[in-house]
Structure 1
Amino acid sequence: MPHQLPVKTLAGLLLGFAIQMFPHAASAASFDCERADLAADEKVICDTRSLNDADVKMATTFDILTSLLPMGTRGTLQEEQSAWLKKRQACNGDAECIRASYAERLKQFEESYKGLSRPL
């Protein structure tokens, strides 16, 4: 039986790889924090390092997961992401609500990753 890495270890390796490949993503939110028309949730994310980091992790994980999915299922993931974004935006400026939203979405990504078919 081949040795398999635990999901969290593999996800950590993928994230580390993505940060090295896309270093600009490691230092800023997935959107432009300099825009004048930032929504309340975006302002809090830009002003709170831990939320900014969660946003980068979420965006990077989304990109990685999207690239691993077959073409026919990527649309579903994108629709789920749009629905999640609306949920996050409904938090307005509530940092704890935003934090919980990111934790929930990252958990969903982890479950999606576990369900992927992988070669031996």
Structure 2
Amino acid sequence: MMRRHLIVPSVVLASVFASASCLGQTAAYAPIECAKASAPAEKTICGNYALGQDESRLATLYGLLTSLVAMGQRGDVMDAQQHWIASRNACGTDVQCLAQSYKARIGDLTKQFDALAKRGPF
């Protein structure tokens, strides 16, 4: 009887760790590492608190969304993210342009999240 109580928590912990490792594999986007920032847009984002917060929010939304959608849709989300990165980087050091870029992409990801939630149940 004592063994049974130990097995269940072990199985739960193993599934949590397996899920966490899968989440890392699905997303092809990570927040900017400011110590390694090289593009003008990245340096500007790292030097601006509000843009840094936008970057963090976007990375979180993106990671969650890509872990929840089906494989085909995940590819579409990842492709759109790569296009957005190119567009964001085209802003260079223009803070207003970067803020608008983040606002639009966060809005897009939020709409996709809302659509996913409406389709539920999970």
Could you tell me the TM-score, scaled by structure 1's length?
0.72
What SS does the aligned partner of 1:53 have?
Answer: helix
Moved more, 90-99 or 65-74: 65-74
Number of equivalent positions: 91
> What do you get for the CA RMSD once the two structures are aligned?
1.5
CA distance in 2, matches of 1:61, 1:32: 17
CA distance in 2, matches of 1:33, 1:79: 23
Q: Any runs of at least 4 consecutive aligned residues in structure 1 with deviations exceeding 4 A, and if so which?
A: none
Find the counterpart in structure 2 of residue 30 from structure 1: 31
Q: Deviations over 1:40-86 (max 9, x none)?
A: 10011000011001001000100001111012210000000000000
- Between Structure 1 and Structure 2, the one with more helix by share is 2
Identity %: 33
CA distance in 2, matches of 1:44, 1:111: 27
Unaligned runs of 5+ in 1: 1-28
Q: In the TM superposition, what is the alpha-carbon distance from 1:113 to its structure 2 partner?
A: 1.2
What SS does the aligned partner of 2:34 have?
Answer: coil
Contact 2:61–2:110 under 8 Å retained in 1:
no
Radius of gyration: which is bigger?
2
Q: Amino acid of the residue matched to residue 31 of structure 1?
A: I
Q: Amino acid of the residue matched to residue 97 of structure 1?
A: C
Unaligned runs of 5+ in 2: 1-29
CA distance in 1, matches of 2:35, 2:113: 33
Alignment of 1:35-50 (within 5 A): 35=36, 38-50=38-50
Find the counterpart in structure 1 of residue 54 from structure 2: 54
